[in-house]
Structure 1
Amino acid sequence: MTYAAALGMTVLEATPERTRVAVTVGSTGLNMHGTAHGGLIFSVADEAFAIISNQHAQAVAVETHLSFFRAVREGDLLVAVATPERVGRTLATYRVEVRRGAEGEVVALFLGTVSRRETVHPAG
């Protein structure tokens, strides 16, 4: 089982233009204040970042940053929406908005840059 699967993440969409990953905050995802642990929020953003950045190249993260804007509660659905900011030959930067619900408020903003290693060729 992968880390994302163990956390209960679901891939809703996966294209080079937009990738969406969802997770519902459960009781095991809470911090000492009873709100979503920052690691859970980071994890859903990072999963969307990993999926989108590996669509057409083998990508390895070189830098990430996450800003928290709003508290998240147990039962909230988080949807990480990843979009490209700039995709070059060797480096690519992606923006991931973590939203409460499919079209809800942005609760966190993730920016990440990857090193692109090689082109991925489709099977067949």
Structure 2
Amino acid sequence: MSLQATLGMTVLEATPSLTRVEMTVTDAGLNMHGTAHGGVIFSLADEAFAVISNLEAQAVAVDTHLSFFRAARAGDRLVAVATPERVGRTLATYRVEVQRLGAETEKVALFTGTVSRRDRPAGTSPRP
């Protein structure tokens, strides 16, 4: 079973200019303080980053960074919204905002990541 399936992530949209991945925080994803574990939030952002960066090329991460702004709790619906900052021939950098959905959308975290990219081998396709 993939991490995406284990954490209950769903790809809502996957285009080279915008990718959105959603999940709901469960009790299994909480830390000792009763809030979403940083690794769960990172995994959601990283999944959106992986999907968007592999749509047009074969890509592997070379650098990532995540800043936390707000806590998320069990039952919170989170969405990671990935957009390109700069896409070059061999390197690409993406921005991923992790947002809590509800009456008001709140930014929970900001992820940035850079990938090394190359042409996809013939006969292969990305997995959204």
User: Same fold by TM (over 0.5)?
Assistant: yes
| Structure 1 unpaired stretches of 5+ | none
2:92 is the counterpart of 1:95: no
Distance 1:99 1:92, change over 3 A: same
| Structure 2 unpaired stretches of 5+ | none
Q: Normalising by structure 1, what TM-score?
A: 0.94
2:40 is the counterpart of 1:40: yes
The one-letter code of the counterpart of 1:97 is: E
- C-alpha RMSD of matched pairs (Å): 1.6
Q: Normalising by structure 2, what TM-score?
A: 0.91
Distance 1:116 1:101 in 2: 32
**SS of match in other structure, 1:45:** helix
Would you say the 8 A contact 1:91–1:114 is kept in 2? Answer: yes
For residue 113 of structure 1, what is the aligned residue in structure 2? 114
The one-letter code of the counterpart of 2:109 is: A
Q: Deviations over 1:103-122 (max 9, x none)?
A: 71111000000000214667
2:68 is the counterpart of 1:64: no
Give the count of matched residue pairs: 123
For residue 29 of structure 1, what is the aligned residue in structure 2? 29
Distance 1:73 1:122 in 2: 42
Q: Deviations over 1:3-52 (max 9, x none)?
A: 11111000100000100000100000000000000000000000000000
Distance 1:53 1:26 in 2: 27
Distance 1:67 1:8, change over 3 A: same
Larger mean CA deviation between 38-47 and 111-120 belongs to: 111-120
- Give the percent of matched residue pairs that are identical in Structure 1 and Structure 2: 74
Distance 2:46 2:116 in 1: 15
